A and B are shown apart, each in its own frame.
Chain A
Amino acid sequence: MARIRHALADVPRAETPDAVPVERTYHRVHGDRTPAETADLLAENLADYRAIVHRTDAPSLPALIARLLADRGATSVAVPPGLPDSWLSAVPDAVRRVPDTAELTPHDLDAVSSVVTACAVAIAETGTVVLDAAPDQGRRRITLVPDHHICVIRVPDQVVGSVPEGLERLDPARPLTWISGPSATSDIELDRVEGVHGPRTLEVILTGPPAGPETAGQSR
């Protein structure tokens, strides 16, 4: 520490950090969008990074989750302790529920097919979902080791436009995981390959309040 102070001999002793100006003239959000447009942008950017995006409303959510698990042939699903009961209500009992508990080892998780979680916030401009390990999301490892992650975003209240808007909703004391598409690498000749160590498949469900006609289904 003495070395650092010595190195900063040119900085006047009376100077405070605030004396070094930081102009925050950058935008809080890029563009003027309605909540619906923000949700569309989120869906578009998530899909652009090879997440599979679905849109539905609350009553149709359980059936959609059941279908996505069945399509993958999932035999087991990791369940965070605070996940709403209704979300898995349409999933047949034959699909084993694996509760996220402290006893669950990485090896146990490696044998689990899929995981279903909520999220803390989603950022439209970057196509990012953020998990903060709240009870409906579970510990960080359950969304990491299984190969298939289904993440449910409540629209519009969990969707923000930009990184600054997302960050201000988050609590730094919680462990945060920002996810933008499935695991990927570009280390071999800069060719992008999805699915290295994290989940190979990320499915995101944007779920809104019940709206007129049937909206469930894949957006692209």
Chain B
Amino acid sequence: MPAFPAAADASTRNTQLRANLRHATHTIRAKRATAVAELDDWSSLRAAGAAIKDRTLRHLDQYLEQLERAVTAAGGHVHWAADADEANRIVTELVRATGEREVVKVKSMATQEIGLNGALATAGITAYETDLAELIVQLGDDLPSHILVPAIHRNRGEIRDIFAERMAEWGRPAPEGLTDAPADLAEAARLHLREKFLNAKVGISGANFMVAETGTLVVVESEGNGRMCLTLPETLISVVGIEKIVPSFQDLEVFLQLLPRSSTAERMNPYTSTWTGTTDADGPRTFHLVLLDNGRTDTLADTVGRQALRCIRCSACLNVCPVYERAGGHAYGSAYPGPIGAILTPQLRGVQSELDASLPYASSLCGACYEVCPVAIDIPEILVHLRERVVEGGPVSVRGTRTVIKPAKGHAAERAAMRAARWALDHPRVLRTGQRLASRTRRFHPRRLPGPGRAWSDTRELPKVPEESFRDWWRRTRGESGTEGRKTTT
């Protein structure tokens, strides 16, 4: 995966992608504003949501232990996974133990993050995505590009073609003469997936919330595919990030108001399922909860970055972000695109790779993401904090161990340029000479800088140098001396 600037350079030239994205983000942005405006206590709900999550994060150890006790008491089994490999291994073994080779999946960011489908495929187990958008992505050999609507980058014509060409390989083929009407496409998905639901023995899900007090898990969805996967199979395996806890059942009253209105801009999503362990003769007989760390404790250890773990994955920040709208979700190179991805991914994975080090720069710092965040994550603050980490290095937690990282490569030029600028600004004569030289040679300036400046100008248009510097213009139009000029105009 290339670093964000290179990926975005390619994706911003894709006019179809930009048109699809612009339409989608603007539609949902307007709807969301209406849904939020219906509640006159939105700011109080937002503050309570942030505070509940902060309380949870500061005492995560206690709440996780409480959750484990509650889930176990309700008949579930709890597993702990330090990283993606361990989580994938646990899930693979649990599926193998059932003797099944196929599983149905509810859309889940956590399993996307750890690459579970690939790991299961390696073990000879086929995972069927059952969310319509995830199905589009899976059939198209594609990657999700949005947290809520993973196929947002595809339009109806592309989806029709994917269904017509690929459905047969995965099960029931698309109906003859399939049109690109959304209702027809949804119907094709319904028929294709129903045979999977009715025969599935193992379901895999994530969860939107886990209640420490009661051991209750919550999945919020629209299509009913979630309900199918959560209730029809004999075995249910849920892979959930350790930060998804809320302390009490009552706390759901805050999040079940914040989440639907922020994400799909609805008063309430069509379906919400909650379950506590197992229930006799209703739903799966076996329930496994896999609690996933995978960089979350490293994020927790950073007192500025910690607030990113409040995220409830509503995706409101993506829909308002000018950078996301133009670059698309794939450019972020992880399961989490957009502003939240720009701060979450470099914390979960560290900033060692070129891609991860580039993500804190995938923003204009306009602050729109902070405005819409239902749990008030100060995304711009964390972006700046992470840029400092990339450029300066410093103490961080890596896989639970405190360590000091070096500045990332490629930022030497940036530091040198800043030092040079400071020197030039301190020496007015040098600045004047430099400016005149730049003006006189303006016809010969390249669109991109050579040498060490290339990294900077790769992603930016070089500003055009004016024919005359401001200082020269002032001198010419307001007299020889700057001070005299000021006198004549007042």
User: Which among A7, A25, A145, A199 is the interface contact of B300 at CB below 8 angstroms?
Assistant: A7
Query: Considering the complex, which residues of chain B in the window 121-139 have a beta carbon less than 8 Å from any beta carbon of chain A?
Result: 130-133, 136
Known: A17-B55, A144-B231. A127 touches B225 (CB 8 A): no
A106 within 8 A of B: yes
Interfacial chain A residues near B216, Cβ < 8 Å:
172
B48-A26 in contact (CB<8A): yes
B149 within 8 A of A: yes
A23, A26, A140 — which one has the most chain B CB atoms within 10 A of its CB? A26
User: Which among A17, A30, A174, A186 is the interface contact of B149 at CB below 8 angstroms?
Assistant: A186
User: Which among A2, A11, A26, A139 is the interface contact of B45 at CB below 8 angstroms?
Assistant: A26
Min Cβ gap B343→A in Å is 17
B300-A4 in contact (CB<8A): yes
Query: Considering the complex, which residues of chain A in the window 1-19 have a beta carbon less than 8 Å from any beta carbon of chain B?
Result: 1-11, 15-17
B371 within 8 A of A: no
Question: Can you name 13 A-B residue pairings with CB atoms under 8 Å?
Answer: A3-B82, A6-B297, A23-B44, A27-B44, A49-B267, A140-B283, A173-B276, A174-B276, A177-B273, A178-B273, A183-B223, A185-B223, A196-B190
A110 CA / B195 CA spacing, docked (Å): 10
A7-B214 in contact (CB<8A): no
B13 within 8 A of A: no
Interfacial chain A residues near B130, Cβ < 8 Å:
197
B194-A110 in contact (CB<8A): yes
B271 within 8 A of A: yes
Interfacial chain B residues near A172, Cβ < 8 Å:
211, 214, 216, 249, 274, 276
A11-B253 in contact (CB<8A): no
Chain A residues at the B interface, C-beta cutoff of 8 Å: 1-11, 15-17, 20-27, 30, 45, 49, 102, 106-107, 110, 123, 125-128, 133, 139-141, 144-145, 163-164, 167-168, 172-191, 193, 195-199
B54-A20 in contact (CB<8A): yes
Q: How large is the interface on B (under 10, 10 to 19, 20 to 34, 35 or more residues)?
A: 35 or more
Known: A26-B44, A140-B227. A8 touches B300 (CB 8 A): yes
Interfacial chain A residues near B224, Cβ < 8 Å:
144, 183, 196-199
A106-B232 in contact (CB<8A): yes
Known: A178-B272, A195-B186. 13 other contacts (CB 8 A): A4-B242, A5-B61, A7-B397, A128-B268, A139-B281, A163-B253, A175-B275, A175-B279, A176-B275, A177-B272, A179-B271, A193-B183, A198-B270
A198-B223 in contact (CB<8A): yes
Known: A183-B224, A195-B186. A11 touches B55 (CB 8 A): no
Q: Is the interface of A mostly helix, strand, loop or mixed?
A: loop
4 tightest A-B CB contacts, nearest first: A198-B224, A197-B224, A7-B301, A178-B272
Known: A27-B41, A163-B257. A197 touches B225 (CB 8 A): yes
Which residue of the partner chain A has the closest CB to B136? A187
State which of B23-31, B334-342, B406-414, B445-453 sits at the interface with chain A.
Answer: B23-31
Produce 1/0 per residue, B346-390, CB < 8 A to A: 000000000000000000000000000000000000000000000
B249-A167 in contact (CB<8A): yes
Min Cβ gap B332→A in Å is 20
Interfacial chain B residues near A163, Cβ < 8 Å:
253, 256-257, 268
User: Which among B64, B159, B231, B250 is the interface contact of A188 at CB below 8 angstroms?
Assistant: B159
B214-A190 in contact (CB<8A): no
A21-B279 in contact (CB<8A): no
A34 CA / B198 CA spacing, docked (Å): 44
Which residue of the partner chain A has the closest CB to B63? A17
Known: A177-B227, A188-B182. A198 touches B271 (CB 8 A): yes
Interfacial chain B residues near A198, Cβ < 8 Å:
223-224, 227-228, 270-271
Interfacial chain B residues near A186, Cβ < 8 Å:
149, 222, 264
Which residue of the partner chain B has the closest CB to A15? B58
Known: A20-B54, A177-B273. A189 touches B155 (CB 8 A): yes
Interfacial chain A residues near B47, Cβ < 8 Å:
23, 25
A2 CA / B300 CA spacing, docked (Å): 13
B300-A17 in contact (CB<8A): no
A4, A6, A24, A184 — which one has the most chain B CB atoms within 10 A of its CB? A4
Interfacial chain A residues near B247, Cβ < 8 Å:
17
Interfacial chain A residues near B62, Cβ < 8 Å:
17
Min Cβ gap B136→A in Å is 7
Which residue of the partner chain B has the closest CB to A27? B41
B223-A184 in contact (CB<8A): yes
B440 within 8 A of A: no
Which residue of the partner chain B has the closest CB to A140? B231
Query: Considering the complex, which residues of chain B in the window 35-80 have a beta carbon less than 8 Å from any beta carbon of chain A?
Result: 38-41, 44-45, 47-48, 51-52, 54-55, 58-65, 74
A17 CA / B185 CA spacing, docked (Å): 49
B279-A20 in contact (CB<8A): no
B253-A4 in contact (CB<8A): no
B58-A20 in contact (CB<8A): yes
Which residue of the partner chain A has the closest CB to B31? A190
Interfacial chain A residues near B171, Cβ < 8 Å:
none
Interfacial chain B residues near A20, Cβ < 8 Å:
51, 54-55, 58-59
A197-B155 in contact (CB<8A): no
